[in-house]
Amino acid sequence: MTEAMETPGGEAYIAAIAGIVADVETVGRQIAAGQIAELRVLAAAGRLAEAQSAHADANVLLHDMALRSIAAEVAGAMRMTDRTVQRRIGEARVTIEGFPAAVAAWEAGRIVRGHVSAIVDAGVNLPAELWAEFEKVAIERCERDTPNRVRGELEILAHRMHPRSFAERHEEAAAGRCVRLVAGRDGMSDLIATLPTVIAEGIHDRLTQQARAIIDTRGERAATSDVIATDGRSTDQVRADVFSDLLLAGIPALDDTRDTAAGPLGAIRARVQVLIPAATLTGADDGPCDLSGRSPIDPVTARTLAGETGVWERLLHDPVTGVTVATDSYRVPSGMRRFLQARDQHCRFPGCRVAAIRCEVDHTHDHALGGKTELSNLAHLCQRHHSMKQFTAWKVRQLQGGVLEWTSPLGRTYREDAPTPAVAFTSATANPGDPAPF
């Protein structure tokens, strides 16, 4: 390998990356064409099974036997089990026949398979007569962002379009909360808890904070002690160990932070970031609220969390884009930080959705190079992407409205719009000059 090839930024290196990206795009189109063709074939198999049992005296068992037989035949060619193929036939029919516009957008390259999955997963919970209306709005949203970013928003959209309120459906679902034990291999098992989302998110966040405190303390002790550190557990392992300690003993059995500045593990409490529309907060609306772009939570829980917070600030949104443009706070930098959390919601690198409360506020134009500490020069980046901005050839500049324009080492640009609230409310009688709702 030549020196130019080895050096990031060299002509040969850039040309090699450009070739790889072009090949990835070509292969991606080919894979998409194959995946769509497979879905259509499987859907056709399902329709054939239905036709086989379409006569008047056909019963449910006859239809199921016809589907099983065809699934077994297809399974032999696909080298899969007939149960798996039968399930995939059902999924293919829902996708091809229930959401044809999404498939067409995928075929045209406007969206990718992950978008289609997100649309189907969220839309299938609606009555079938609402699928087309939901699909139209969902596709437009998917064209502007990655599948993992839009999934939570599409779920909230579907919940709001549902004829039954989200609060009512959540109450029914919460009645099914449970803890299950699933035996695994090599003396291991999975302990699975089905809980309301905000509770599950809070549990995971507290375990993560405690695990990080232990790992950080481990580094501090190794730096100040002659004793060689023997604790090589990963974050996942520490999180699992703390989880076990808390359930079995009530407190962490081994609190390595007890004698350090990090503080006792027991003092660490869970954090969740929730976006609550004003109408839901006041009780005028019973729609879902957004748990930092991850998934919807019920309005009763959101109102309870809001009632326990010690700080409230009014946020004003642009009536057209829904982007937060002002806050009542005059304090700096805490007020600016809260404004940015409301605006950004998550890491602002394309495709990343690490919640803003777990990110760093970054100066888009470095402060050391003259960048000002002002809203138009600040954005949230997670540790991974903050480091990538600092130490690689990726560049970013901030445009009006909190829009970030990222430029890759190849010179490709990726526009990262500030997230819009899941729902924006405007008055039907509002005049263009009226203040924006909040």
**Can you tell me whether residue 224 is helix, strand or coil?**
helix
Using one digit for the tens of pLDDT, what is the confidence trace for 22-46? Answer: 999 999 999 999 999 999 999 999 9
Q: Could you tell me if 96 and 40 are in contact, meaning their C-beta atoms sit under 8 angstroms apart?
A: yes
How far is 340 from 362, CA to CA, in rounded Å? 11
Using one digit for the tens of pLDDT, what is the confidence trace for 363-391? Answer: 898 878 888 878 888 899 998 999 899 88
User: Higher model confidence: residue 216 or residue 322?
Assistant: 216
Using one digit for the tens of pLDDT, what is the confidence trace for 353-368? Answer: 888 888 888 989 887 8
Q: Is the pLDDT of residue 83 over 70?
A: yes
Q: Is the pLDDT of residue 137 over 60?
A: yes
Model pLDDT, residue 381: 92
Q: Is the pLDDT of residue 238 over 80?
A: yes
What pTM, to 2 d.p., does this model score? 0.64
Model pLDDT, residue 260: 43
Angle between helices 299-308 and 166-174 (to 10 degrees): 90
Q: Is the pLDDT of residue 306 over 90?
A: no
State whether the Cα torsion 304-309-314-318 is positive or negative: negative
Using one digit for the tens of pLDDT, what is the confidence trace for 176-214? Answer: 999 998 988 888 889 999 998 888 888 888 898 888 888
